[in-house]
Structure 1
Amino acid sequence: MLNETDLSRTDLNLLVLFEAVLDTRHVGRAAERLNLSPSAVSHGLGRLRRMLDDPLFLKTPKGVEPTDRANALAPQIADILARVRGVVATAKPFDPANSTRRFVIGAPDGISAVILPPLLARLQSAAPNIDIAVRQLLPKQGEHEPGLAWRDALGELESRAMDVAIMPTDDVPIRFTTRALYEEDFVFALRAKHPLARKLTLEGYCAAQHLVVSDTGDAYGFVDNALVKRKLARRVALTVPNFMFALATLADTDLISALPRSFVAMHGARFGIIAVEPEIKLPHFKLTLVAPTVALKDAGLAWFSAELERAAKARRSRR
């Protein structure tokens, strides 16, 4: 957006001004928010318009409306300001009790739904003003090498689109730090009144209709790999994009799904879902917290990572 020559002459406050006018859609209200006069805001907008070569905001009877160019720039400017605010926040000693920082976690929802309840319980008393954002992570479909399957997530960590990720792999480049959180395996999940709930044999399992969690709609997964070794197969009648959607769907159908054990133990009962031990060997996964090593020099992020580790250990009591 801005080249190197522009940056030497750019006033960062103009981006703050842009943010305020975009939020309020009004020069006067933006001026009040920034403790400036309306004329100062108008003058700043003039400078910003010349710098970005666009009107940015057009007058209306009720205030102003952003141009297409302003709307296109808004996410980039918001990202720039968030990063700058993060840098400023880390310049002060980190005090979780008074911090108003926002941390972004990337994880599959089958993991975040297990970690979040104990984490939020801890933060409620220890850090009541800290905010959390969760980004849904899923591996690349069809990619069986862990380092490649989660490559996009590692890229988001390095770009600081998220602060930490929780993934079922520790196969990451050495520039990342990993911390083991807990181990997970899978169970067969079905509604308590399912015709096969009392006795789910492997034969009955293969004859049933199945649900697979897949963001892309790819129906083939690790369960199918295990079945192939026994010269067996199943019919996947439905794919859904996340684990919570899977629970809600299982509650109203006779579909069966393989879901994370901890996830079903924590959330299955509210949907009337039970867990059945598989008669075939399914893989175990080591769930790992991953963050760029350089990022963990930030005292706030180091503290938050430690809180995630504690939440992972506390998950059993929540179950």
Structure 2
Amino acid sequence: MLNQTDLSRIDLNLLVLFEIVFQERHVGRSAERLHLSPSAISHGLGRLRALLGDPLFLKTPKGVVPTERASQLAASVAEILARVRGVVSTATPFDQRHSTRRFVIGAPDGISSVILPSLLETLREVAPGVDVGIRQLLPTQGFTALHLAWRDALKELEDRTMDIAIIPFDDIPVRFHKQKLYEEEFVIAVRKGHSFQRNPTLNRYCEMEHLVVSHTGDVTGFVDVELAKKSLTRRVALTVPNFIFALSVLAETEMISALPRRFLEIHGARFNVVAVKAPLPLPRFSINVVLPKVAMMDAGLAWLVQLLGQVRTGNDRSFVLRSGKRNRSMHS
């Protein structure tokens, strides 16, 4: 344990360095974010290792990985820095017009591709120096319970490998802040002019070749659960790892797929893919912004949460920004 004399000699910047390296898992990228040289990062890590008595980060061909001790420390370091930032922000309010911060947002691609066009347009207007990184979030395979399927995302938030998560999950533990962005539902997506548009019956639906978005290649999804209730099945002819890939395939084939409605409204027209009312019940769910409550002490993060909350859906189902401008309009 450190005594008071040792504590007085600790450079708080070392904790910032620890946080960035833990997030980036790469010395070079960490150096870019901190506007330092890679050698300065390595020197700082050496001081941290001596201070904490642990290697902290181990070299790999692709960067560095945290040790078990570093992973244990990450949440505590994040909390300490969040409190310090909160104290500093009360004296120097966050000014988005001049900020050059970079925020990391985690979300499934069916969500990030919905919020990103509006978010980037808004940032260009009100915070031109702010940068954004998007992390692809995926539910943990093998769990039907949502609190288990998304537990890795919550852990990443507490480890500060990302700032905010936007996920289709409602039952958030009380230690997290939750803010609803919008309601989502699935529709059937087909190439414009597809024969299914003229005859969207359940029997015809079961006869079609289906495309399923699944990053693991698993062919079973919520559609199959609904079909099984009626003693029906379908043929999954293809799986693809993301929703944009799905649109490109649908545009060139006779396949059909269940896709998020808002995603299709924003991106479907570019691929000549349209929505058809589903002949069976498909899920509807809330999309929520999630981050640790302690992180809301960071004025910059609190601002970003508020900004995301201003992305709304109007009666025409297009996204409306506070500026009044409009955009054109998770395993299935």
1:232 shift after superposition: 1.0
Taking a change above 3 Å as real, the CA distance of residues 312 and 154 of structure 1, as seen in their structure-2 partners, is farther
Query: Larger Rg: 1 or 2?
Result: 1
Taking a change above 3 Å as real, the CA distance of residues 48 and 124 of structure 1, as seen in their structure-2 partners, is closer
1:161 maps to 161
1:14-47 residue CA offsets vs partner (Å, 9 max, x unmatched): 998xx9xx759xxxxxxxx879xxxxx89x9899
1:106-160 residue CA offsets vs partner (Å, 9 max, x unmatched): 1111111111111111111110000011111121223221111111100011111
- Is the partner of 2:231 in helix, strand or coil? coil
Asked if the contact 1:191/1:197 (under 8 Å) is kept, the reply is no
1:209 shift after superposition: 1.0
2:289 maps to 289
1:315 maps to 319
Deviating 4+ runs (over 4 angstroms): 7-16, 44-53, 67-77, 82-90
Matched ranges for 1:220-299 at <5 A: 220-299=220-299
Distance 1:270 1:181 in 2: 25
Distance 1:272 1:232 in 2: 30
Asked if the contact 2:59/2:65 (under 8 Å) is kept, the reply is no
Name the amino acid aligned to 1:315.
Answer: F
1:303 shift after superposition: 0.7
- Is the partner of 2:205 in helix, strand or coil? helix
1:233-268 residue CA offsets vs partner (Å, 9 max, x unmatched): 111111111111111111122211100001101100
Identity of aligned residues (%): 49
1:59 maps to none
Asked if the contact 1:210/1:238 (under 8 Å) is kept, the reply is yes
Distance 2:107 2:82 in 1: 22
Distance 2:44 2:115 in 1: 47
Taking a change above 3 Å as real, the CA distance of residues 184 and 208 of structure 1, as seen in their structure-2 partners, is same
User: What is the aligned residue count?
Assistant: 283
Taking a change above 3 Å as real, the CA distance of residues 34 and 301 of structure 1, as seen in their structure-2 partners, is closer
Taking a change above 3 Å as real, the CA distance of residues 138 and 312 of structure 1, as seen in their structure-2 partners, is farther
Asked if the contact 1:141/1:218 (under 8 Å) is kept, the reply is no
1:200-257 residue CA offsets vs partner (Å, 9 max, x unmatched): 2211111111111111111111111111111111111111111111111111222111
Distance 1:193 1:206 in 2: 19
- Is the partner of 2:197 in helix, strand or coil? coil
Asked if the contact 2:180/2:289 (under 8 Å) is kept, the reply is yes
Distance 2:152 2:109 in 1: 17
Is 1:185 the equivalent of 2:189? Answer: no
* TM-score of the aligned structures, taking structure 2 as reference length: 0.73
Matched ranges for 1:4-23 at <5 A: none
Name the amino acid aligned to 1:257.
Answer: S
Taking a change above 3 Å as real, the CA distance of residues 114 and 50 of structure 1, as seen in their structure-2 partners, is closer
Distance 2:44 2:154 in 1: 38
1:312 shift after superposition: 3.8
Extract unaligned runs of 5+ from structure 2: 22-26, 30-34, 51-57, 321-325
Report which stretch shifted further, 213-222 or 266-275: 213-222
Name the amino acid aligned to 1:251.
Answer: A
Report which stretch shifted further, 300-309 or 243-252: 243-252
1:122 maps to 122
1:86 shift after superposition: 8.0
* TM-score of the aligned structures, taking structure 1 as reference length: 0.76
Asked if the contact 2:83/2:294 (under 8 Å) is kept, the reply is no
Taking a change above 3 Å as real, the CA distance of residues 75 and 240 of structure 1, as seen in their structure-2 partners, is same
Distance 1:244 1:47 in 2: 41
Taking a change above 3 Å as real, the CA distance of residues 68 and 261 of structure 1, as seen in their structure-2 partners, is closer
1:10 shift after superposition: 7.4
Distance 1:195 1:186 in 2: 20
- Is the partner of 2:215 in helix, strand or coil? coil
Name the amino acid aligned to 1:240.
Answer: V
1:176 maps to 176
1:28 maps to none
Matched ranges for 1:51-70 at <5 A: none
Distance 2:217 2:302 in 1: 37
Distance 2:192 2:272 in 1: 6
1:305 shift after superposition: 0.3
Distance 1:294 1:129 in 2: 25
Distance 1:174 1:168 in 2: 17
1:199 shift after superposition: 2.3
